Structure 1
Amino acid sequence: MEMAEIVMNPVRQRIFQYFLLHKTGTVKGIRKALSDVPSASLYRHIKILTDSTILMVVGENRIRGTVESVYQLNKDAMETEDETGNAVQMSLLSICATFAKYFSSGKADSKKDMLLFTNCTLLLTDEEFSGFLTEINQIAVKYMKKEAVEGSKTRQITLISSPSNE
C-alpha cells in the first residue's frame, strides 16, 4: 500500500488527529475518542499504521495479565519528498471522491449539512502567511479538542494553499 493511500483514509486521518492532540495513546483511548468506529475496524487501521511505521509502540501498560501498547505518531515516517506532487494529487482526488460519494448518495442536502466551499486570494508576506496559518491552526485545535456530545456530527475541513498564477 502506498503512503498516499495509507494516509488518505478518513478513519486513519482521525487517528492522526488524535495523536496530534494527545502525543501518545492506547487503543482504548483512541476507541473512546472515535466511538463511532467499530473496534475491529479500529484495530485494522492501527495495524496498517504500525506496519507502515507511521505509528510506533513507545511503551506498554500491564493490566491484569494483559499488555496494552502505547502508540505515538512517527512524524519522520510521514516526511517524504514529493517533488512530483503525487501525494497532493492523491489527496485532491480523495477529496473529490468524498464529494462524489456524498452527492451520489441520494441524501445530499448541502444546506442542512452546512456544506461550505470558499476560495480567496491573499496578498501576504511569508511571515504574515505563517502567522495566518498559526491562527487557523489554533482555532482548529480548539475545536478538535471538543468532546463529542449528542448531536455532534463528523465534519471534515480541508485547507489548501497553492501558488497563484497571475
Structure 2
Amino acid sequence: MEVKVPDNTALADVVLHPVRLRIIQQLGGRNRTTAQLREALPDIPQATLYRHVAALVDAGVVAVVDERRSRGAIERTLALGDRMAAIDHAELSAMSGAQLRTAFLTFLGDVTGDFDRFLSADSLEARELVGFARTPLYVNSEDLATIQAGLAELLTPYLTEREDGRHRVTLATILLPDP
C-alpha cells in the first residue's frame, strides 16, 4: 500500500499517525540512518517503516541529509525537515471537535507507548529522569506566546544530541483550557 502524502497536505494529516509520530520522535535533535530507525523501532515492519519515512520526506517533515552506498543499497541519513512537525494554532482551530479529539488521543497514545517502552527497559538510572506534573496557569494569548518563546529559548541548548553523557528525555506539553 502506497502512503504518499502531498506537500500541501495539512500537517496534522501527515504527522498524526502513530508510526510517523515515532519516526519524528526518533529524529528530534539528531540525524538517523534508516538502519538506525529500524533498530530503534523494531516492532515496525521494515516495509511499513520505509513507506512512512517516504511520506514524511514527501511532505517536507523529514529531509534526507546524506546518502551513501552500503552493500549495494543506498543508506539514507534523515533529519527533521523544513516543514517542522508542530501543528500550529490555526490548523488546530480549523479542526472539528472529533478531529481534535482524534489528534489528541493519537498524541496521548504516542506518549503512552513511549512510557510503556521506558517501563519495559526497567532502568533504575533512567527512572531518575522521569517525571510528570500538572500546573494551572492564568494566561491570555499574549502571555502564552511569551511563555512559549521563553521555553523555546530555554530549551534550545538541549535540543541536539551530544556525546557528553547526557540522556535523551522527551518533554511533552499539553495546554488544556478550563471549560
Q: Contact 1:16–1:73 at 8 Å: present in 2 too?
A: no
**Alpha-carbon deviation of 1:136?**
0.8
The aligned residue for residue 156 of structure 2 is 141
Q: Give the one of 122, 134, 138 matched to 1:123.
A: 138
**Alpha-carbon deviation of 1:122?**
0.6
Q: Contact 2:56–2:62 at 8 Å: present in 1 too?
A: yes
Cα-to-partner distance string for 1:74-127 (whole Å, 9 max, x where unaligned): 359x66543221222200111112223323x16153874321111100112221
The aligned residue for residue 7 of structure 2 is none
Higher relative contact order (CA 8 A, sep 6+): 2
Amino acid at match of 2:152: N
RMSD: 4.1
The aligned residue for residue 82 of structure 2 is 73
Name stretches of at least 5 consecutive residues in structure 1 with no aligned partner: 19-29, 62-67
Amino acid at match of 1:74: R
The aligned residue for residue 15 of structure 1 is 27
The answer as to 2:111 corresponding to 1:95 is: yes
- Superposition misfits of 4+ residues, deviation over 4 angstroms: 68-71, 78-81
Q: Contact 1:56–1:74 at 8 Å: present in 2 too?
A: no
What is the percent sequence identity of the aligned residues? 13
Q: 1:159 to 1:73 in 2, by over 3 A?
A: same
Provide the rounded CA distance (Å) in 2 between the counterparts of 1:149 and 1:133: 28
**Alpha-carbon deviation of 1:39?**
4.6
Provide the rounded CA distance (Å) in 2 between the counterparts of 1:106 and 1:13: 18
Tell me the number of residue pairs that the alignment of Structure 1 and Structure 2 aligns: 141
Determine helix, strand or coil for the equivalent of 1:141: helix
The answer as to 2:168 corresponding to 1:154 is: yes
Amino acid at match of 1:38: A
Cα-to-partner distance string for 1:16-41 (whole Å, 9 max, x where unaligned): 545xxxxxxxxxxx24xx8xx73574
Provide the rounded CA distance (Å) in 2 between the counterparts of 1:70 and 1:38: 11
> TM-score, normalised to structure 2's length?
0.58
Determine helix, strand or coil for the equivalent of 2:122: coil
> TM-score, normalised to structure 1's length?
0.61
